[in-house]
Amino acid sequence: MDKLGSLQTFVKVVDEGSFAAAARAIGQSRSQVNRAVIALEEDLGVQLLNRTTRQVAVTPSGRAFYDRTKAVLADLHEAEEAIRENRETPSGDMRINAPMSFGTLHLGPALVDFARQYPDIRVELALSDRFIDPVADGYDMTVRISQPSETLALIDHEIIPMNRVLCASPDFIRKHGEPESPRDLATLPCLHYGSLPAGSSWKMTGPDGPVSVQVNGVFCCNNAEVLRDAALADLGLALLPTFIAGPDLQSGNLVSVLCDYSPPELFLYLLYPPSRQLSARIRLLVDFIYDRFGGQPHWDLVQ
């Protein structure tokens, strides 16, 4: 008996729901498919399928065996793909999702260089600020800026902290004065990421520990680049990531305030589905992004 072939045939019968459909899918006759499953049942000494004239029903033993067998066959397929990719020039499709601003300003240009370096890998980059589950949404990798989370059964690589800074334009500071403590934010115009329902607050940690202050949100947006533009237009104080505000801090168009206080830490993460055999394409991209952005990123060097 061809054990591997019989295992593959059995899984296909369960997946397709009948011997006839499985036979069409694998290009064999119905009798060949039936004989392969019978041989497997005889070898195991258990009945895997209950047969009717039109369909098959999986027995409890068959269901348990199917679940284990399908996982083993998936591992075998991944191992074969890994060997082929290690032997050959990396190629194939790669779907990536990333936040809008970081993708536009930094990841997009990096992936252009990646695509130039590996021309046989076809890169698809989608930008979205909503949380994307790579398994549910069909992505090979998602890039996220967030606080540490253990809510998903995903592999994650923490690349770097994503620093944020409270800042405003020099003209705004001259007009309203520089805040001396977080409490001053309650009376100063603030630019808020997202919506600002009543009672919203900014949280920071300073020399005396964590503080929380309700802010006066005069302008709200779910895009940090727009908030930077609002800060440059003297509308208020903004809590901006340095990957957006860095050049304006260097030029003096924005100035940082309350430097002894820091907001909750955010990190740049790479998320992808768990797999015993990581594809060569994913390994290449993880290494490329780490080399590009790991250590101290260039947007922090300009401050």
**Residue written as tokens 């909503």?**
130
How many Cβ atoms are within 10 Å of 177's Cβ, its own excluded? 10
pLDDT for residue 167: 96
Class of domain 3-87: mainly alpha
User: Taking a C-beta distance cutoff of 8 angstroms, is the pair 254, 232 a contact?
Assistant: yes
152, pLDDT greater than 60: no
DSSP 8-state symbol, 273: -
Domains of the chain: which residue ranges? 3-87, 92-153+267-301, 164-256
**Chain segment 33-47, per-residue pLDDT in tens:** 889 999 988 999 999
How would residue 73 be classed by pLDDT, with cut points 50, 70 and 90? Answer: confident
How would residue 131 be classed by pLDDT, with cut points 50, 70 and 90? Answer: confident
Contacts of 85 (CB under 8 A, 6+ apart): 279, 280, 281
Compute and round to an integer the Cα radius of gyration of the chain.
Answer: 28
3-87 and 164-256 in the same fold: no
How is 4-17 classified by DSSP, letter by letter?
A: HHHHHHHHHHHHHS
Report which residue type is found at 303.
Answer: Q
What does CATH list as the number for 164-256? Answer: 3.40.190.10
Q: Which of 209, 203, 204, 248 is nearest to 230 (CA)?
A: 248
- Report the alpha-carbon distance of residue 84 to residue 93 in Å, rounded: 15
123, pLDDT greater than 80: yes
Q: CA 21 → CA 26, 29, 42, 56, 174, distances in Å?
A: 9, 10, 23, 11, 76
Q: Which of 80, 6, 90 is nearest to 49 (CA)?
A: 6
- Report the alpha-carbon distance of residue 19 to residue 37 in Å, rounded: 10
Per CATH, the homologous superfamily of domain 92-153+267-301 is: Periplasmic binding protein-like II (3.40.190.10)
How many Cβ atoms are within 10 Å of 228's Cβ, its own excluded? 22
**Residue written as tokens 């409890």?**
60
Strongest mean pLDDT among 76-90, 133-147, 148-162, 172-186? 172-186
224, pLDDT greater than 70: yes
pLDDT for residue 18: 87
Report which residue type is found at 160.
Answer: I
Q: Which of 32, 62, 57 is nearest to 44 (CA)?
A: 62
CA 149 to chain centre: 12
Q: What percent of the chain has pLDDT over 70?
A: 89
Strand 164-168 and strand 255-256: pairing? Answer: antiparallel
